[in-house]
Each structure stands twice: as structure tokens, then as C-alpha cells.
Amino acid sequence: MGLMGLKSKAVFEVRTATISTWKQKFGWEKVEKAVVLVEWTKDDKQLKALVNLVEEIAKEVGELVVVPERMECGYDEVGGVTETWQKVRKTAPNVEVVDPMTPVGPKKMPLILCDLKPGSLEKMMEYLACAIPGHSLVDRLRADVEDSEPKIKKHRAN
């Protein structure tokens, strides 16, 4: 949510206003894996809507990974929000939840403190490479980034 402006066949945005009907807009027959970036929020209404969306998508795919996108709660509340997300595994065992406190990067900072800048497919790919290293989506986004880079014309010397 909140990653407007990205151009990729592998990335879809869910807006808060359409969260309850978003899943129905797509055919899920060929989707094997999904990654959902979510705001780590303590807001009960928004959290419940996000959990419901993830549970609905989990029914359609073989594997679903929940990745915290940004922190919309106090640092001291991260554990409680993470607990809520871990409970999803009871109703949807094919869901993996990335712990926002996972140390990532060269400085081993918690993932939740990493900055995911909106509007950049490359930044999203870098963020997901930290959050879910080795996941096929990271490879797909890397290819999309390479395809979107402007091609440099090579001039032949005469």
C-alpha cells in the first residue's frame, strides 16, 4: 500500500478505500506466490482490513509473504502488531510473516527502520532484497529494473 507510480507487471497497489474488494479484481489461477507489503499499524480498523486481505489472498496462492513496509505505530508497539500478524499463520499456514525487527544490511539495523521510498521500482527491489533475500519476486523486480533502464546507444567508430 502507498507505493504509487510503480511500473511493473509484478507490482499491484491496494488503496485503503478499495481494500475489501481489491482481491476480486484479479484472476488468481496462475499465481503461485505473492508478497504483500503492509504498514505496521496499531489502528485496529486498518490492521483488521489488512489481515482480512492477506487471509483472502492466501486462499488463492500457494505461498504468501507479508513484509512490513513502514512503521505506522510506536517503536514500542511493533511487537504487539507483529504478534497480531503471527496469528494469521493459524488460519493461513501458507503465510510467512517477515519479522520487522530482523537485522538487515551492513549495519544490521531492524528492517522496520529501513527506508522504502515510494515511486521507485529499484528502491522497492533493494528493500525486498533485504526483507526476503532469495525470493523469486526480487529476481523478477531486478529484471524489471534492468528492462526499464534507458539503453545507451553505442556509436561505431569509423
Query: pLDDT tens string for the chain (158 positions)?
Result: 444 455 566 677 777 777 788 888 888 888 899 999 999 999 999 999 999 999 999 999 999 999 998 889 998 999 999 999 999 989 899 999 999 999 998 889 999 888 777 777 888 898 999 999 999 999 998 988 888 766 554 455 55
Phi, psi values for residue 143, rounded to 5°: -65, -40
| pTM for this model (two decimals) | 0.84
For residue 41, count other CB atoms closer than 10 A to its CB: 19
Quote the cell numbers at residue 79.
511487537
* CB 63 within 8 Å of CB 92: no
> Which DSSP letter does residue 67 get?
E
* CB 86 within 8 Å of CB 47: no
CA dist., res. 41 & res. 48, Å (int): 10
Q: Per residue in 16-33, pLDDT tens?
A: 777 788 888 888 888 899
